[in-house]
Amino acid sequence: MIRPSDTTFTSADSVGIARWQMPSLIAGIVGAVACIIGWVVNPTVFYRAYLPAYLFWFQIVVGALGVLLLQYVTGGEWGILIRRPLGAAARTIQWMAVLFLPIAFGMHAIYSWTDQSLVAHDKVLLAKSGYLNIQFFLVRAAFYFFCWILWAWRIRILSVRFYGDRSPYTASSRQKWAASGLVMIALTLTFTAFDWMMSIEPKWYSTMYGINFFIGAGLAAYAFVIFFLARLSDTPAMAGILKPMHFRDLGNLMLAFVMLWAYTAFSEYLLIWYANMKEEIPHYLVRQAGVWGLISVLLILFHFFLPFFMLLVRAIKDRPSTIAVVALIILVMRFIAIYWLTEPAYSGPRFHFSWMTLAALVGVGGLWMWAFIGQLKGQTIIPIHETWVEEAVREGAKANA
């Protein structure tokens, strides 16, 4: 077994990540200023445009936490390269709580069930008012963030402790927290999807909506970390560590998430369409009309079929440049999927896209990237304190020698 001192591992600073922190902050500030201008011009349009932009970055953060917990439970070597980026992304969840404030303040523009006069004259909304009300909505959101922050930082504390004592009791405690965290994140993300997304159409419901969002978040996190590592593969510091076998394993897991997302999305569509209930069908009727219908076709082609067939090819998965393209396609389609799910609730069959969505996408993304790089700085990209790390890296080098 190779000792940590025998192998050179690279810190986030030495691969040049730190130089992108300030540009990210500048982009975030520019986007935030544009958002403020949009809010002044038309608050209602701004709040509705902000929601999908926020949800896109949020799914990467909370998906990273879910994949990180899964990695600690399984302990597989597939997570050797992504554990640190996943942990850094997960620990930015408190910043996402701050960036959630525009949604909390703009609830009246985003969610129709906040209109008490409308609820009072609608039997369906009145029956749901015990759950869909402003106070309970905010309490649930605070509880979700509390759970995500608790698990993200508890895992971090136990990992730091394990670095110092190498105790099996610490490793066991971390694994138990991760196992319970998987249950936590599955439940909280399911209800998050119901609360933040599905309730923009309060009369429509789908029991598969939550699991589809949960899987989509995991897929987005995988795509992000794969793209992130692929960009690092060009640096001299990581050239001797990142091997084709590592990207191949990550590509196989991303393929599994692509297939699982497609399965849940198609199952939801098939069950609702087959049942042909007037309470459920309008959701898809609107999204199959005009430009929205074209977007639904693009989702089928570029969110499933293209990544699916590309990830079946070993040569694509082995090369950082090609698997990065697949990851980027998935990230773009994840945003389009979220926009396709949210915007038609406001604009109906008529396609609408506001510049404020781009402003929010840049603003939230820039601020989040600044926080993400800040969490990753000062530590090695690979967790050298884990007992199986050097062997995994060595076997990857042998497999590709």
Query: What pLDDT, on a 0 to 100 scale, did the predictor assign at position 193?
Result: 97
Residue type, 41: V
The alpha-helical segments, DSSP class H, found in 166-234 are 168-192, 209-232
Q: What is the mean pLDDT of each run of 10 residues along the chain (401 residues)?
A: 41 70 96 97 96 98 96 83 91 97 96 93 92 96 98 93 85 93 96 96 91 96 94 76 85 95 94 83 91 96 97 94 96 97 94 95 97 85 58 51 49
The alpha-helical segments, DSSP class H, found in 233-319 are 244-275, 282-287, 290-298, 306-311, 314-318
pLDDT tens per residue across span 72-131: 998 877 787 888 899 999 999 999 999 999 999 999 999 999 999 999 999 999 999 999
List the structure tokens of 92: 């930015």
Query: What pLDDT, on a 0 to 100 scale, did the predictor assign at position 195?
Result: 96
What are the two backbone dihedrals, phi and then psi, of residue 380, each rounded to the nearest 5 degrees?
-70, 150
List, in order, residues 6 or more apart from 65 with CB less than 8 Å away: 86, 89, 90, 93, 148, 151, 152, 181, 185
* Pairwise CA distance, residues 254 & 218, whole Å: 9
Query: What pLDDT, on a 0 to 100 scale, did the predictor assign at position 4?
Result: 38
Q: What is the DSSP annotation of 294-363?
A: HHHHHIIIIIIIHHHHHHT-HHHHH-HHHHHHHHHHHHHHHHHHHHHHHTHHHHTTS----HHHHHHHHH
List, in order, residues 6 or more apart from 270 with CB less than 8 Å away: none
List the structure tokens of 266: 């198609």
pLDDT tens per residue across span 129-185: 999 999 999 999 999 999 999 999 999 999 889 888 888 899 899 999 999 999 999
Q: 11: which strand partners? A: 380
Query: What pLDDT, on a 0 to 100 scale, did the predictor assign at position 279?
Result: 77
Query: What pLDDT, on a 0 to 100 scale, did the predictor assign at position 7?
Result: 41
